[in-house]
Amino acid sequence: MIRVCDDLEALSLAAAELFAAEARQAVEARGSFTVALAGGSTPRRTYELLTSAPFRELVPWQNTHIFWGDERCVPDGDIRNNALMARQALLNHVPVPQDQVHPMVCDRSPQEAAVEYEALLRGFFAKDRPQFDLVLLGLGENGHTASLFPGTSVLEEQKHWVASVYVAEEGLHRLTLTAAVINQASLVVFLVSGSAKAPILRNVLKEAQDPHNIPARLIKPIDGGLLWLVDRDAARLLRQRKE
């Protein structure tokens, strides 16, 4: 499903509303809410909105467990660090218990860090399938999402839940949830904003594209929902423009 919002502010408001609704529903149904946050810049405004009324009061933060969809292997204080952005925009301002915040920590080899985060997930979910209630994702102009980059071996990963990947164009290692894990989620929401994303958004939504060239096309939740929250600029090349 695609929802076209007027601009980034409207998109962020819609995302915050969805976050709060999913959180309340999950806690009501199962006593807890598990969410994997997206990195990059698009989600920042959503995170900021969640720290103020009405969302700060609506979200059951005490029962919320925060994970990440991916992380860049940079020092904690590096502005590229996704956990740093989420702490600054959201987590430092809401009462999520610290032991319920699970950043991807890359303080050893990327491979070891991936194994460690997978062990954390397996311990937390304590069952065969890691079913996040909500996974937030962004979309890169080259079709990557989380750190599932075109042409990388992680795209085929079916066994592991977390993988390390070397992104040559950035000269960086990253950690990422695999598509197999993301597709177990109850709801996956892409946040896509800006005119520069229009070409890739159109290509992602076109049926015939090869997912290995456009990894975002690997995201097809098995039982869960998939929502594209996009703004008008990002949607400018889509045939149907819906409110």
Nearest to 101 by CA among 109, 110, 92, 89: 92
Instruction: For ligand 6PG, give the closer residue by CB, 63 or 86.
Output: 86
Q: Which of 18, 23, 38, 163 binds ligand 6PG (CB under 6 A)?
A: 38
User: Any contact of residue 3 with ligand 6PG (CB under 6 A)?
Assistant: no
The footprint of ligand 6PG on residues 133-152 (CB under 6 A) is 138-140, 144-146
Closest distance between ligand 6PG and the C-beta of residue 201, in Å? Answer: 11
Residue 151 gets the label, from left (phi > 0), alpha (psi -120 to 50) or beta, of left
d(CA 216, CA 198): 14
Interaction mask 175-214, ligand 6PG, x per CB under 6 A: ----------------------------------------
Q: Which of 3, 16, 33, 40 binds ligand 6PG (CB under 6 A)?
A: 40
User: Any contact of residue 42 with ligand 6PG (CB under 6 A)?
Assistant: yes
User: Any contact of residue 103 with ligand 6PG (CB under 6 A)?
Assistant: no
Peptide bond into 54 cis (omega under 30): yes
* Contact of 84 with 105, CB cutoff 8 Å: no
Nearest to 49 by CA among 80, 18, 3: 18
d(CA 78, CA 226): 31
The footprint of ligand 6PG on residues 109-138 (CB under 6 A) is 138
